[in-house]
Amino acid sequence: MAGTDKQREMLAEGPAIILVEPQLGENIGMVARAMANFGLAELRLVNPRDGWPNEKARAAASRADHVVDAVKVYGDPAEAVADLNFVQATTARARDNFKPVRGPVEAAAGLRARHKGGQKTGILFGRERWGLTNEEVALADEIVTFPVNPAFASLNIAQAVLLMSYEWMKTAPEAAVLPEPPRQTPATKEHLSSLMDYLDRVLSERGYFRTEDKKPKMMDNLRTLFTRPGFTVEELAVLRGVLTSLEKFTPRKPKGLGKPGAGD
């Protein structure tokens, strides 16, 4: 971890880069280097195949040691984004879901605006071979795709990180303004995960998912539905209250009679 005040300041700037199950240390190192080139410093790894620390990563980072030294490792993607308010997922191909799809320029502008608004942001990058699963994409608020040559679309992971870092830095001079400064607290991914866990339980109990094999896709849809609005903590609390009311009380035993629900 670097020492000067100026560097520490630099470390705090900008979105976290989150690599899901990266395989090659060289790639992780090149990602760190690309981040350093464009002023990003927060690198998170989800289950790196060869463990961590990784000497090949350090070598490939070409002295971007402040990024390598600050790497955090997580056991699963949800955990890696839990403290963030806003997450983008990079994908090579269009997905069949409800999320907005952005190009890198637009995506970076969105990140910058939220960053200025005090939100913690991050960008998910998938495995070298096959990217992110639908479930992982469902963790994100938006999808980012790159305007690549359709005949040769496979972007190396370090290249993808480079482009997003570069576009991030390009937004720096401009005064991006958040449309409406939120008076409420943007929810973190953890808040949302908690709601999803709750829904999973109460809907499973009620046979909502019909069959087990349909459940993952249906949960993805639900996650997307509740992710897209970028709900605040306060809004999630209201939503939770509605759902709990439906879950715990009935017309015959409404709230106040005290029977069905353990508490509130």
Question: What residues between 51 and 80 interact with its own copies by CB under 8 A?
Answer: 62-64
Q: Does 128 bind its own copies (CB under 8 A)?
A: no
Q: How far is the CB of 109 from its own copies (least distance, A)?
A: 14
Nearer to its own copies, 70 or 178 (CB): 178
Report, in Å, the least distance between residue 79 CB and its own copies: 25
- Binding of its own copies by 147 (CB under 8 A): yes
Residue whose CB is less far from its own copies, 53 or 254: 254
Chain positions 217 to 256 lying near its own copies, rule: CB under 8 A, are 221-222, 225, 228-229, 231-232, 234-235, 238-239, 241-243, 245-247, 249-251, 254-256
Amino acid found at 230: G
Length, in residues, of the chain:
264
Question: Which residue from 206, 213, 262, 264 is in contact with its own copies, where contact means CB under 8 A?
Answer: 206
Please name every residue paired with 143 in a beta bridge, in sequence order, or none if there are none. 89, 101
Does 214 interact with its own copies (rule: CB under 8 A)? no
> Binding to its own copies by residue 183, rule CB under 8 A?
no
Write b or e for each residue in 132-160: b if 16 or more Cβ atoms lie within 10 A of its Cβ, otherwise e: bbbebbbbbbbbbbbeeeeeeeebebbbb
Binder to its own copies among 5, 75, 96, 264 (CB under 8 A)? 96
Minimum CB distance to its own copies smaller for 46 or for 57: 57
Instruction: Say which DSSP state 52 is in.
Output: S
145, two tokens: 């795709």
- For residue 152, give every residue at least 6 positions away whose Cβ sits within 8 Å of its Cβ, in sequence order, or none: none
What is the rounded distance in angstroms from the CA atom of residue 11 to the CA atom of residue 66? 8
The least CB distance from residue 185 to its own copies, in Å, is 12
Instruction: Specify the residue for token string 């997307």.
Output: 224
Q: Which of 73, 82, 101, 109 binds its own copies (CB under 8 A)?
A: 101
Residue 155 near its own copies by CB under 8 A: yes
Count of beta carbons in the 10 Å neighbourhood of residue 73: 14
**Measuring CA to CA, which residue among 114, 106, 107 is closest to residue 89?**
107
Q: Which is nearer to its own copies, 75 or 205 (CB)?
A: 205
Q: Which is nearer to its own copies, 181 or 263 (CB)?
A: 181
Q: Please tell me the count of residues contacting its own copies according to CB under 8 A.
A: 82
**Which among 79, 27, 20 is positioned nearest to 46, based on CA atoms?**
20
Q: Which of residues 11-30 bind its own copies (CB under 8 A)?
A: 30
Q: For tokens 């939100």, what's the residue?
A: 119
Is the Cβ of residue 71 or residue 163 nearer to its own copies in the bound state? 163
For 240, counting Cβ atoms within 10 Å of its Cβ (0-12 exposed, 13-18 middle, 19+ buried), the class is middle
